[in-house]
């Protein structure tokens, strides 16, 4: 994934920037409420569970499993040649928290396929966490 | 407490343009044509219309249409959204405006050059840096998740895995809509039949969804006139009474435009489940009272999820329900009798409202005999709206 036309994420948003800062360090981060430990995903400035504005990014283990996936066969954007697969990965450490990943081609996956995050996809100086199939 | 809106407002007039792939006209021209048709159908003139409700994604603002139509008075305007989730909510808002005395009669419209102009099917506009400002696109677009169809591919795959839903189940939805379109001369797919073999031979777009699981992209417009039930009786055509209407989010909502809905705890229950509970309570009716339904169908899976959420079958049984023949004209729940978004055209679900009124009037090209109660739903997944229309 070195095609320079690949879109880069905005990495300095007030609410989501911490995710990309962690990725820069090679870590996977999820936002939590500092008071009640609720995971706040997608990240936001407020914990509606306990009413706290005190939130913090915490590093989590970069492993997960596939929650669902789709194989894209119809070309939409030149940066993403088909076929490719888009998967939703549920993080092992934080059940219910999911992230999206791109996989080349039509990999042999199913719900529950073990995945691991890697930090080798650099776009415009921003590291985009992506997931690959984890060997058993 | 009785729902204060029950039976107090009605849709007095309906209008629609031709649905095509290339209108050759401006969105404004389309909006004007559909609006004038709806106003005339209600037995009114522009002098009677003093309110306008639009869809939040419409390129026309209230003043654009008011100016073009030459409305002498504009006392109320508003918008609902997001996008396809809007139409029944637009009607509900118009009814609320009428009942609260803010307007006498309200025009509700949707106009778009959805094929020759901006195409939703082409997905998000991807630039060098994507996301930020509460869009959450930075979590999705850089991975190649670009379009609604891809998102619904993820949802469909999950439904198949959880419940054993099959491609044949999706096909039955596509075929039911196509069969109805074949009877509707204004449907984009009027001349194109669809068999199970055709469906299975269809090009895969975002596996498990094939080309026939996707709606049309359409140039066209629809409009309806909402007024009091009393006033609606004066029109030359039978009015459809708004028994109840609802807008609904759901617990654990997400922000953003579309993709963040993938982060909700479940993908197989949608805001339509929350909408259904409130709608039936407000209407004092239940799923067994529905004679015919216009179910928002940007994709086949969208219909399947709503069949479950609106209680026509249990959660997980939408596939077998669709495959049972229930959705056909002689089934227990005929749907999308003009062809729906899948085969009539994609006027973002306002065409479903128009067709719901036709069923109540008895003027559909696929009329359900003695139809007295019609469910109309609008889009998911962000949030949704729905209503029940009845004979006056
Ligand atoms: Zn908290």
Indicate the pLDDT class of residue A1, thresholds 50, 70 and 90. Answer: very low
Q: A85 and A136, same structural domain?
A: yes
Is residue A5 one of the residues assigned to a domain?
no
| CATH code of residue A75 | 2.40.50
pLDDT of residue B119: 86
> How far is the alpha carbon of A77 from chain B, nearest alpha carbon, in Å?
8
Inter-CA distances, B369 with A6, B4, B82, Å: 55, 30, 34
Is residue A25 one of the residues assigned to a domain?
yes
Indicate the pLDDT class of residue B122, thresholds 50, 70 and 90. Answer: confident
C-alpha of residue B274 to centroid of ligand 1, in Å? 25
pLDDT of residue B198: 98
pLDDT of residue B1: 66
Angle at B379 between CA B374 and CA B380, to 5 degrees: 125
Give the range of the structural domain holding residue A125, as residue numbers without chain letter.
62-136
List CB contacts (< 8 A) between A44 and chain B.
Answer: 255
Q: Determine which of A12, A42, A105, A113 to mutate to test the interface with B (most B C-beta atoms within 10 Å).
A: A42
Cβ pair A88:B123 closer than 8 A: no
Nearest to A9 among B133, B138, B260 (CB): B138
Nearest CA in chain A to B253: A42
Q: A48 and A68, same structural domain?
A: no
DSSP B347: S
Nearest to A77 among B128, B146, B262 (CB): B146
Q: A76 and A56, same structural domain?
A: no
State ipTM.
Answer: 0.97
Contact present, B110 and B81 (Cβ < 8 Å): no
List CB contacts (< 8 A) between A76 and chain B.
Answer: 122-123, 146-147
Is residue A55 one of the residues assigned to a domain?
yes
Q: A111 and A82, same structural domain?
A: yes
Q: A102 and A68, same structural domain?
A: yes
- In 3D, which of B74, B4, B34 has the Cα closest to residue B348? B34
CATH number of B9-117+214-391: 3.40.47.10
Indicate the average pLDDT of chain B. Answer: 97
> How far is the alpha carbon of B268 from chain A, nearest alpha carbon, in Å?
12
Give per-residue pLDDT as tens, B349-385: 999 999 999 999 999 999 999 999 999 999 999 999 9
Contact present, B261 and B381 (Cβ < 8 Å): yes
Q: A46 and A21, same structural domain?
A: yes
Contact present, B349 and B218 (Cβ < 8 Å): no
For residue B139 the two structure tokens come to: 């979590």
**Long-range contacts, stretch B118-124, CB < 8 angstroms, 24+ apart:** B119/B217, B120/B147, B120/B148, B120/B217, B121/B147, B121/B148, B121/B149, B121/B214, B121/B217, B122/A76, B122/B147, B123/A76, B123/A77, B123/B147, B123/B148, B123/B150
Cβ pair A74:B206 closer than 8 A: yes
Q: A129 and A78, same structural domain?
A: yes
Nearest CA in chain B to A17: B132
> How far is the alpha carbon of A130 from chain B, nearest alpha carbon, in Å?
8
Q: Would you tell me which residues 277-296 of chain B have a C-beta closer than 8 angstroms to some C-beta of chain A?
A: none
Q: Would you tell me which residues 142-181 of chain B have a C-beta closer than 8 angstroms to some C-beta of chain A?
A: 142-147, 149-150, 153-158, 161
Is residue A1 one of the residues assigned to a domain?
no
Give per-residue pLDDT as tens, A69-116: 999 999 999 999 999 999 999 999 999 999 999 999 999 999 999 999
Q: A130 and A83, same structural domain?
A: yes
Inter-CA distances, B160 with B164, B196, B204, B281, Å: 5, 19, 16, 31
Q: A44 and A94, same structural domain?
A: no
Q: Would you tell me which residues 331-370 of chain B have a C-beta closer than 8 angstroms to some C-beta of chain A?
A: none
List CB contacts (< 8 A) between A74 and chain B.
Answer: 149, 203-206
Q: Would you tell me which residues 229-268 of chain B have a C-beta closer than 8 angstroms to some C-beta of chain A?
A: 254-256, 259-260, 262-263, 265, 267
Q: A122 and A76, same structural domain?
A: yes
List CB contacts (< 8 A) between A12 and chain B.
Answer: 132
Give the C-alpha separation, A36 to B166, whole Å: 42
Inter-CA distances, A3 with A28, B126, B357, Å: 24, 15, 52
pLDDT of residue B244: 98
**Phi and psi at residue B126, to the nearest 5°:** -100, 120
Inter-CA distances, B153 with A25, A40, B32, B148, B191, Å: 33, 26, 36, 9, 28
- In 3D, which of B231, B367, B384 has the Cα closest to residue B296? B384
Per-residue pLDDT at A4 exceeds 70: no
Give the C-alpha separation, B233 to A125, whole Å: 66
Q: pTM score, two decimals?
A: 0.97
Is residue A102 one of the residues assigned to a domain?
yes
Nearest to A73 among B131, B140, B205 (CB): B205
Boundary (domain end) residue, out of A60, A80, A97: A60
Q: Give how many domains chain A has, as a whole number.
A: 2
Q: A132 and A111, same structural domain?
A: yes
Task: Give the A-side interface with B, CB within 8 Å.
Answer: 6-13, 15-16, 19-20, 41-42, 44, 67-74, 76-77, 79-80, 84, 86, 88, 96-102, 106, 110-111, 123-124, 128, 130
DSSP result, B316-342 = T-HHHHHHTTTTSTTSSS-B-TT-HHH
Cβ pair A99:B131 closer than 8 A: no
| CATH code of residue A43 | 2.20.28
pLDDT of residue A124: 87
Angle at A19 between CA A15 and CA A24, to 5 degrees: 135
Mean pLDDT score, B71-94: 97
Cβ pair A42:B263 closer than 8 A: yes
3-state secondary structure A41-90: CCCCCCECCCCECCEEEEEECCEEEEEEEEEECCCCCCCCCCCEEEEEEE
Give the C-alpha separation, B295 to B292, whole Å: 10
């Amino acid at each position: 994934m070195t095609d320079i036309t690949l879109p880069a994420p905005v990495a300095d948003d007030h609410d989501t920037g911490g995710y990309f800062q962690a990725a820069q360090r090679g870590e996977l981060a999820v936002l939590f409420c500092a008071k009640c430990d609720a995971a706040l995903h997608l990240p936001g400035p407020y914990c509606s569970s306990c009413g706290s504005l005190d939130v913090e990014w915490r590093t989590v283990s970069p492993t997960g499993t596939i929650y669902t996936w789709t194989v894209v066969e119809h070309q939409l954007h030149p940066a993403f040649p088909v076929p490719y697969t888009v998967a939703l990965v549920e993080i092992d450490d934080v059940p219910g928290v999911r992230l999206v990943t791109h996989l080349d081609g039509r990999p042999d996956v199913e719900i529950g396929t073990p995945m691991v995050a890697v930090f080798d996809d650099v776009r415009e100086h921003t590291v985009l966490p992506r997931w690959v199939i984890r060997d058993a | 407490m009785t729902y204060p809106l029950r039976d107090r407002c009605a849709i007095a007039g309906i209008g629609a343009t031709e649905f095509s792939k290339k209108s050759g006209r401006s969105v404004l021209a389309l909006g004007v044509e559909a609006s004038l048709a709806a106003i005339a159908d209600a037995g009114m003139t522009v002098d009677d219309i003093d309110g306008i409700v639009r869809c939040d994604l419409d390129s026309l603002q209230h003043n654009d249409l008011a100016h073009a139509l030459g409305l002498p008075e504009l006392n109320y305007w508003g918008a609902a959204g997001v996008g396809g989730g809007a139409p029944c909510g637009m009607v509900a808002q118009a009814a609320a405006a009428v009942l609260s005395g803010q307007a006498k009669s309200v025009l509700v419209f949707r106009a778009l050059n959805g094929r020759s102009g901006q195409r939703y099917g082409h997905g998000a506009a991807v630039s060098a840096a994507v996301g930020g400002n509460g869009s959450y696109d930075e979590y999705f677009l850089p991975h190649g998740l670009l379009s609604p169809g891809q998102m619904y591919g993820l949802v469909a795959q999950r439904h198949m895995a959880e419940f054993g839903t099959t491609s044949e189940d999706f096909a039955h939805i596509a075929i039911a809509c196509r069969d109805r379109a074949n009877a509707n001369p204004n449907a984009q797919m009027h001349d194109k039949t669809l068999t199970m073999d055709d469906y299975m031979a269809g090009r895969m777009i975002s596996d498990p969804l094939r080309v026939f699981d996707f709606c049309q992209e359409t140039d066209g417009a629809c409009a309806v006139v909402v007024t009091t039930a009393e006033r609606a009786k004066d029109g030359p055509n039978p009015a459809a009474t708004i028994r109840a209407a609802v807008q609904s989010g759901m617990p654990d909502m997400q922000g953003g435009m579309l993709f963040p809905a993938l982060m909700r705890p479940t993908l197989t229950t949608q805001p339509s489940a929350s909408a259904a509970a409130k709608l039936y309570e407000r209407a004092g009716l239940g799923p067994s009272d529905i004679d015919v339904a216009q179910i928002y169908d940007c994709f086949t899976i969208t219909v399947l999820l709503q069949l479950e959420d609106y209680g026509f079958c249990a959660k997980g049984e939408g596939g077998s329900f669709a495959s049972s023949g229930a959705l056909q004209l002689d089934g227990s729940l005929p749907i999308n009798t003009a062809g729906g978004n899948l085969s009539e055209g994609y006027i973002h679900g306002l065409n479903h409202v128009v067709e719901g009124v036709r069923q109540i009037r008895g003027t559909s090209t696929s009329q359900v005999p003695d139809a007295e109660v019609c469910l109309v739903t609008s889009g998911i997944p962000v949030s949704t709206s729905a209503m029940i229309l009845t004979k006056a």
